[in-house]
Structure 1
């Protein structure tokens, strides 16, 4: 309990109007949290000005200098003082705050930056003359002429000098520079046809830390090339194109294969109408799309763009504009889940190329003395030189406890031409060695068959529905009216998975049926968990996850066990089924079911290149 207010009985507080400088400093606390926030606002202004080239120069992590130069449409001398006025913008007229087509629209960034730093703007239009204006701590100078080409240069020095307390909360120069780097990369992925150059000019040295030149081609080609430039070759090689539309909501972008998963969510990039956002509905949908292909400690990688009518999404939720609110979040979520699952299913047995690369890096060939091979060594010593035996044991003559040869079955001529090749051997009673036209494939027999069985069980459940067991006495669960209404709003979805609930008066919920495959269920605990998911993400996949977890365990116990010797026909049948089964490139936990090694890579291991 707080102590009594010592001001009780004193003179009544007087309501007063704050001056513009104080208002702008308060606004800066929301808009500009750190140097990366200032960079984001200035670069977005450049993009709104139709710039095709944006150059950013940073010194000391943005604490002493942030300079953004663009070749956009520019501003006139009359525009410059107005641009530094609070809530002055050229991007909306104020009549419709939901119909937003630009990055910025609030008119807060420039006056906020001018209130906490030393800001200078130089700009010129294509048919006008250059002009310059400066503001320091909220105090404006007069507009004066300036020499420059078409475009705008915004220079911010000594950020937070007017609010020195904020400087104490900034991190090291290196950490702030990394945050700026991340901001530029996110914007570069949103605008693949714009050139971005980020330069660190600290301590009098100039070093380009990020560069992405404008791409060419159509939207998908340009985006793919930009993702290769920003996220790297591995992501680009293992990403699936996404292009689906439903109810006038368009989802595009690229999503990586499950076997290219990451240890954290660092490669999840989500955009709404071109704006980078962080939204729990979208993140939950992305997680749900990979639900039965990744374990909980792995995270999918994706760069997704959602385009819809601006009036169906509110971007005016927070001054930083990084949060959005959808009018129909369920439509957006279901589009992401179904679109990504369809793309993963179409990928079939494909696994990421990084699996083979990691395998090759784990293989350590014997280090020789300057690549002197055995045949080149001169014999030394008094003993006889080594001679190969006159008769050697062939592959087919190996004993049962060794690897054994497998002949291709007659009804599969040229099976090596198939994606997973022709089975040649089984080693350690689990791993299948198959030969392709240009390499070999090593298959984890148990993991592969587990995935095949699991996909069959899921298909059967989708076709026949989930068997429900009726409770002899319905379980009545008391909760608040709001919680009960939230659960009843998804009652139809729960019924599809065998969980039947209905209102029982007031805030009570009656549980009539539970999924039979789950056996005895603590209905109240399940409903509470579902309610938590609904409150946190706006939707719940708890019941589906529990059902699929049961199916996964059934598949594990019903699949080929390690230690069983397989015939050639069985191995080839397994390979052919993998080629036609969705998501067979990874097991139920996201691990790869096979590794493909190219012959050129194998030869490199033995120094034959």
Structure 2
């Protein structure tokens, strides 16, 4: 017996409007940050150039959003609180959406679960105010107000107290609100934002000036930090009516979690699995395990090419051609990093300088004693000997086991970014002099990347050789899965994996990549199907092939412990300057660090 079926025939009844609004609020308003997002997006749609947000108790006690937008008249206010009433669309085309809001659910949902007061005044008219508590609306009354709208939301979820049990701490909710404001501020550089929590200003971003790309760069530096912009690659690409702009950080400027990934579609912040997967694929062979890229990317297209009406929270989108969107993102990222050449993040050098600085002396000061002490003549002579300068040795360090020294000479590469090799220490680190400082290169890691890129280029030019199986491997799948995997058979064949239909839901694996001769193909096929179902694409086979090429590069590169001549070291530096992605090894670690001369002088107290 079905446990959900009642013992008596149920009666179908129409829910009252208040109950329907509280149910709808569960989808639209998950927490205070959700309410802030909806209210700020309404202010942006109203054309505001300045938006001030104030919260108390993490937004549970108070959320106030003040804007200088177009405002609403006394006739508009009751209508704005009706479900599915909106000024954003006329209902004729649900794909021609150019605003943040369009469903007409936010204000009624907020009014159903809290105490909502809206005060508004359009240009050239009187101000008006309306109050709603738990869905009960009071009459509109006149009110003094500046042009624009002020929305006060108090006691969020007081009408649905069970929801309060799922709220996190005030600090966590405040942080969630701050994150929401930062994401929206990065989408609208020409709008000023302030966020105040319990009377303390948490965030401020004044409206930027100038052309759009410059304004975005300034806003991102303000929100993400100057380090992000200094270590990011500017992207600008177009394909099939889609345009991608923004900034993606160098692989060596990565994070321990996916907290610095911000994706926008037509200015709307989204958390889309397709785009997140494409971002991960773009950094596939340049990030260390457990590290996540940092990026702020803006994808724009005709609204007809993307459906934003997927979920009430409007955080998910659906592209008419998802593979085109994914391909644009992946290719733009890889092309941008290739053009970055040998660049590595400046934070690597900063960390190196920090490592050079001595730790504060924790030794307690010695106690002083008044003693009448006169050293013996022997002790005095030994002390003077210790203070004498050391004898002059044969110049150079070539006799030392830990260093290889090159005789100083005029720098042969004065304008080279990685400078001229001066020494090799510990048979693994190349010291090079640049015009404004010095560079330390990990010779094994650098050469490993160079060989890896060479192998990948050869594989791309000549294809991945395949090896025919003596007995084809049959994999039983459902008919839908078989159809899905066969739809990318051409792409798999380019990587050396040849599959064919075998009747029903079965497929036959005829050939496998020669470098993966021991490949257990059936689990790989199922993993690829999981990726296709989740993201619409899969890079698992490519990742396995790249892993083999990386291993080959590791074994074929200059080993640690090998002494190199000056010509060999300089040849390595020049090849690094010409090779894409040479700023990090195959495992995502930096291959070189740079120390500016001014920073070195500061370490030795030569500069303040």
Q: What secondary structure sits across from 1:498 in the alignment?
A: coil
- Indicate which of 481, 490, 493 corresponds to 1:483: 481
Q: What secondary structure sits across from 2:399 in the alignment?
A: coil
Name the counterpart of 1:301.
294
Q: What secondary structure sits across from 1:511 in the alignment?
A: strand
Shift of 1:291: 0.4
Note the 1:295-444 alignment, pairs <5 A: 295-365=288-358, 382-383=380-381, 385=384, 388-389=388-389, 391-393=391-393, 395-396=395-396, 398-407=398-407, 414-444=412-442
Say whether the 8 Å CA contact 2:414–2:420 is kept in structure 1: yes
Name the counterpart of 2:371.
none
Q: Distance in 2 between matches of 1:508 and 1:442?
A: 55
Decide which moves more: 312-321 or 599-608. 599-608
Q: Distance in 1 between matches of 2:213 and 2:350?
A: 26
Shift of 1:3: 5.7
Q: Distance in 1 between matches of 2:394 and 2:274?
A: 60
Name the counterpart of 1:177.
174
Give per-residue Cα distances to partners, 1:436-465, cap 9 Å, x unaligned. 111110000000000000000000001111
Q: What secondary structure sits across from 2:79 in the alignment?
A: helix
Name the counterpart of 2:550.
552
Shift of 1:156: 0.4
Q: What secondary structure sits across from 2:27 in the alignment?
A: helix
Q: What secondary structure sits across from 1:396 in the alignment?
A: coil
Give per-residue Cα distances to partners, 1:337-385, cap 9 Å, x unaligned. 000100000000000000001111112337699xxxxxxxxxx963454
Change (3 A) 1:367 1:295: closer
Change (3 A) 1:108 1:573: same
Name the counterpart of 2:276.
283
* TM-score normalised by the chain length of structure 1: 0.94
2:461 equivalent to 1:468:
no
Q: Distance in 1 between matches of 2:285 and 2:4?
A: 57
Say whether the 8 Å CA contact 2:33–2:177 is kept in structure 1: yes
Q: What secondary structure sits across from 2:151 in the alignment?
A: strand
2:185 equivalent to 1:192:
no
Name the counterpart of 1:223.
216
Q: Distance in 1 between matches of 2:567 and 2:528?
A: 46
Say whether the 8 Å CA contact 2:402–2:427 is kept in structure 1: no
Decide which moves more: 471-480 or 287-296. 471-480
Shift of 1:307: 0.5
Q: Distance in 1 between matches of 2:397 and 2:100?
A: 71
Give per-residue Cα distances to partners, 1:409-429, cap 9 Å, x unaligned. 9xx954143111111100100
Q: What secondary structure sits across from 2:252 in the alignment?
A: helix
Shift of 1:391: 4.2
- Indicate which of 188, 200, 203 corresponds to 1:207: 200
Say whether the 8 Å CA contact 2:404–2:563 is kept in structure 1: no
Name the counterpart of 2:365.
none
- Indicate which of 156, 160, 168 corresponds to 2:157: 160
* Coordinate RMSD, CA, aligned: 1.7
Say whether the 8 Å CA contact 1:91–1:105 is kept in structure 2: yes
Q: Which runs of 5+ in 2 are unaligned?
A: 363-373
Shift of 1:295: 2.5
Note the 1:108-123 alignment, pairs <5 A: 108-123=105-120
Equivalenced residues, count: 590
Name the counterpart of 1:448.
446
Shift of 1:149: 1.4
Name the counterpart of 2:250.
257
Name the counterpart of 2:123.
126
Say whether the 8 Å CA contact 1:87–1:108 is kept in structure 2: yes
Q: Distance in 1 between matches of 2:26 and 2:111?
A: 13
Q: Distance in 2 between matches of 1:505 and 1:368?
A: 76
Name the counterpart of 1:67.
64
Say whether the 8 Å CA contact 1:269–1:302 is kept in structure 2: yes
Give per-residue Cα distances to partners, 1:287-341, cap 9 Å, x unaligned. 0000010133111000001101111111111100001111111000000000010
Q: Distance in 1 between matches of 2:360 and 2:502?
A: 75
Shift of 1:183: 0.3
Say whether the 8 Å CA contact 1:408–1:422 is kept in structure 2: no
Say whether the 8 Å CA contact 1:114–1:136 is kept in structure 2: yes
Q: Distance in 1 between matches of 2:151 and 2:423?
A: 67
Note the 1:62-101 alignment, pairs <5 A: 62-101=59-98
Give per-residue Cα distances to partners, 1:460-518, cap 9 Å, x unaligned. 00111110111222222111000001101111111110111111211111111111111
Say whether the 8 Å CA contact 1:395–1:404 is kept in structure 2: no
Q: Which runs of 5+ in 1 are unaligned?
A: 370-379
Q: Distance in 2 between matches of 1:218 and 1:94?
A: 34
Shift of 1:520: 2.1
Say whether the 8 Å CA contact 2:411–2:420 is kept in structure 1: no
Q: Distance in 2 between matches of 1:68 and 1:97?
A: 28
Decide which moves more: 476-485 or 34-43. 476-485
Name the counterpart of 1:601.
599
Name the counterpart of 1:374.
none
Q: Distance in 2 between matches of 1:28 and 1:548?
A: 47
Q: Distance in 1 between matches of 2:390 and 2:84?
A: 92
- Indicate which of 259, 269, 275 corresponds to 1:266: 259
Give per-residue Cα distances to partners, 1:239-267, cap 9 Å, x unaligned. 11110001110001000000001111000
Note the 1:492-571 alignment, pairs <5 A: 492-571=490-569
Change (3 A) 1:368 1:297: closer
Give per-residue Cα distances to partners, 1:195-239, cap 9 Å, x unaligned. 0000012xxxx2100111111121111111111111111111101
Q: Distance in 2 between matches of 1:262 and 1:341?
A: 19
Name the counterpart of 1:375.
none
Shift of 1:407: 4.4
- Indicate which of 138, 142, 155 corresponds to 1:145: 142
